[in-house]
A and B are shown apart, each in its own frame.
Chain A
Amino acid sequence: MSITAAVINGIAILALLIAFFKDKEKAIQSLKIAGKSFIKIIPMVFIVIIIIGLLLGFVPPDAISKFVGSQSGLSGVLLIGVAGAIMHVPSIVAFPLSASLLESGASITAVAAFITTLTMIGFVTLPLEIKALGKKMAFLRNGTSFIIAILIAILMGMIL
């Protein structure tokens, strides 16, 4: 187990203990929600795990780096940013996918753009957002999010 995983598990156990100490009923309810969410996300986890295997096994690194690597420039970043905006996958599984992209030659900029647009922009949920907040605010939020996602990505590439 990596240190990160150990710390995360430690925090979860500690939080759970505190929760049980404070309010047993609520803690049990939390565990039920945790179990349900776990079952719900499992198929998605396996889908992404298989895709990662195929990606690392079959797609040659130069192909990936050509599209979203450091040579691909801004067009590669925009391309993967749009992909992230349209894709509707739980963000939790987006991170292993991003790690495998990095491993096989994608640039930090591209991966940061992918994660940021994926989490911030909800193309599929846009109708719901319009219903809740109105057209203007929904379009402004999603549109501006895309621009700042690209800015964050470019800065990430410069810093790291």
Chain B
Amino acid sequence: MKGKQKKGMVRDYILLGLVFVIAILLITFFPDKKDEVINASWNFLVEMLWILPAVMILLGLFTVFVPKKTVVKYLGKASGIKGVSLAILFGALPTGPLYVAFPIAASLLKKGASISNIVIFLSAWACIKIPQEMVELQFLGAKFMFTRLALTIIFVVIMGIFIEKLIAKEEDVSLIPTKCP
């Protein structure tokens, strides 16, 4: 994993170099656009730097203070509305890219957590992260952020229940002979 991460970093820097060279070339050929480009980039950079350290600190805190074991322990047996709320909360609190959540989801599956909770947990992890919402708030405004957040929560819950029903139905049909004692 470490080597893979290093490779990713190298790839990012190569990409950055490439984008930088393209930008320099474009500005050299079209000098009248220079001010506009630099202004736009500068404004977004400043806006980003004002919040990035704070977002990273929150990300670090959540990672350390909400250990994965806790997530599995509580979500493994929770059900009903409590299960749904916990799935959203535990998805939204700890941080890291989505692939970090897959092993957690896999152990939840093994522990017998409901399919809907696992799907809701994964989706919350993917798109209801608190630090992420803060960046959304900064760049797209409160109205956009809160509307999208509310809609996302509603639809993610519906999706979780839908997928659970779908999988349960299929298993009823295909697994009856093996499932019955």
Q: Give me the interface of A with B, judged by CB distance under 8 Å.
A: 1-2, 4-5, 8-9, 11-13, 15-16, 19, 26-27, 29-35, 37-38, 40-41, 43-47, 49-58, 90-92, 95-96, 98-100, 102, 108, 111-112, 115-116, 119-120, 122, 125, 128-129, 131-133, 136-137, 140-141, 144-145, 148, 151-152, 155-156, 159-160
A30 near B57 (CB under 8 angstroms)? yes
Chain B residue with minimal CB distance to A23?
B65
B106 contacts chain A at the CB level, 8 A cutoff = yes
* Interface residues as binary, B68-84 with A (CB distance below 8 Å gives 1, 0 otherwise): 00000000000000000
Check A152–B152 contact: CB distance below 8 A: yes
How many residues of chain B have a CB within 8 Å of chain A?
Answer: 80
**Is there a chain A Cβ closer than 8 Å to B179's Cβ?**
no
Interface residues of B in 124-171 (CB under 8 A from A): 126-127, 129, 131-132, 134-140, 142-144, 147-148, 151-152, 155-156, 158-159, 162-163, 166-167, 170
Report if B175 contacts A (CB, 8 A): no
In the assembled complex, which residues on chain B have CB atoms less than 8 Å from the CB atom of A99? 44, 139-140
Cα(A133)–Cα(B125), bound, Å: 15
A148-B15 contact, Cβ under 8 Å, with A52-B41, A95-B140, A116-B152: no
- B residues within 8 A CB of A2? 47, 50, 138
Nearest Cβ in chain A — how far from B15, in angstroms? 6
Min CB distance B156 to A, Å, is: 7
Does B97 belong to the interface (CB within 8 Å)? Answer: yes
Which 3 A-B pairs give the minimum distances between C-beta atoms?
A: A53-B41, A34-B60, A57-B37
Q: Is the CB of B40 within 8 A of A5?
A: no
Whether B59 lies near A152 (C-beta < 8 A) is no
16 pairs across A/B with beta carbons < 8 Å? A2-B50, A5-B50, A8-B134, A12-B54, A12-B55, A12-B58, A31-B60, A33-B59, A34-B56, A50-B41, A53-B41, A53-B44, A125-B99, A133-B102, A144-B159, A152-B152
Name the contact of A58 in the complex, choosing from B30, B151, B162 (C-beta under 8 A): B30
User: From residue A130, how far is it (CB to closest CB) to chain B in Å?
Assistant: 9
Which residues 35-68 of B have a CB within 8 angstroms of A? 36-42, 44-45, 47-48, 50-61, 63-65
| Contacts A1-B50, A90-B97, A136-B167; A8 near B138 (Cβ below 8 A) | yes
B138 touching A46 by the CB < 8 A rule? no
Contact between B138 and A5, CB atoms less than 8 A apart: yes
Known contacts A52-B40, A58-B33; decide if A37 and B56 are in contact (CB<8 Å).
Answer: yes
Cα of A55 to Cα of B122 in the assembled complex, Å: 33
Cβ 8 A contact of A96, one of B33, B39, B139: B139
Establish whether residues A156 and B148, one from each chain, have CB atoms under 8 Å apart when the complex forms. Answer: yes
CB atoms of B37 and A47 under 8 A apart: no
Say whether, besides A54-B23, A151-B155, A159-B147, A31 and B57 are in contact (CB < 8 Å): yes
Tell me whether B105 is interfacial, beta carbon within 8 Å: yes
Which single residue of chain B is at the shortest CB-CB distance from A15? B61
16 new A-B contacts at CB < 8 Å, known A115-B136, A125-B98, A155-B151: A2-B47, A8-B51, A8-B134, A16-B61, A34-B61, A45-B45, A47-B16, A57-B36, A91-B127, A98-B139, A99-B140, A115-B148, A116-B152, A125-B102, A129-B98, A141-B122
